[in-house]
């Protein structure tokens, strides 16, 4: 099980980025959450099997939303994250 925190910036708010990230996560059986940050970036917490996570990371890097564009990508291994059973869009900052 791989557990990561992903922080992305670019055109990632107001373009369906969170919802498309959730769709990709659900397809790949990735658990966790995605939320907008007040500075215009997006933070993703994700847990999943290694192969699924590798695919998820690549899709996030290239923006799961056709209208989005990721210009900054930072990934941190976060072994302390819980084992999420589903993936959720978080609405508050």
36 a catalytic residue: yes
Domain assignment present for 43: yes
What is the spatial distance between Cα 58 and Cα 61, in angstroms, rounded to a whole number? 5
Q: Tens digits of per-residue pLDDT, 43-74?
A: 999 999 999 999 999 999 999 999 999 999 99
- Which is catalytic among the residues 2, 5, 11, 36? 36
Domain assignment present for 10: yes
11 a catalytic residue: no
Domain assignment present for 84: no
Domain assignment present for 88: no
Domain assignment present for 46: yes
Domain assignment present for 16: yes
Q: What sign does the CA torsion over 16, 93, 3, 31 have?
A: negative
Question: Where in the sequence is the domain holding 31, given as residue range(s)?
Answer: 2-79
What is the spatial distance between Cα 76 and Cα 93, in angstroms, rounded to a whole number? 20
Domain assignment present for 93: no
Q: What is the DSSP letter of 68?
A: -
Contact yes or no for 7/43 (Cβ under 8 A): yes
- Which is catalytic among the residues 2, 5, 11, 18? 18
Note the pTM of the prediction, 2 decimals: 0.95
pLDDT for res 93:
58
**DSSP-derived 3-state class of residue 77:** strand
What is the spatial distance between Cα 42 and Cα 35, in angstroms, rounded to a whole number? 6
Domain count for the chain? 1
CATH code, domain carrying 46: 3.30.70.100
Q: What is the DSSP letter of 80?
A: T
């Amino acid at each position: 099980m791989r557990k990561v925190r992903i922080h992305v910036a670019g055109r990632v708010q107001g373009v369906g980025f969170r919802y498309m990230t959730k769709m990709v996560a659900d397809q790949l059986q990735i658990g966790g959450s995605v939320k907008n940050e007040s500075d215009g970036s997006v933070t993703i917490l994700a847990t999943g099997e290694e192969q699924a996570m590798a695919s998820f990371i690549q899709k996030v890097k290239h923006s799961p939303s056709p209208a989005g564009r990721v210009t900054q990508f930072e990934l941190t291994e976060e072994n302390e994250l819980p084992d999420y059973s589903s993936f959720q869009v978080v609405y508050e900052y």
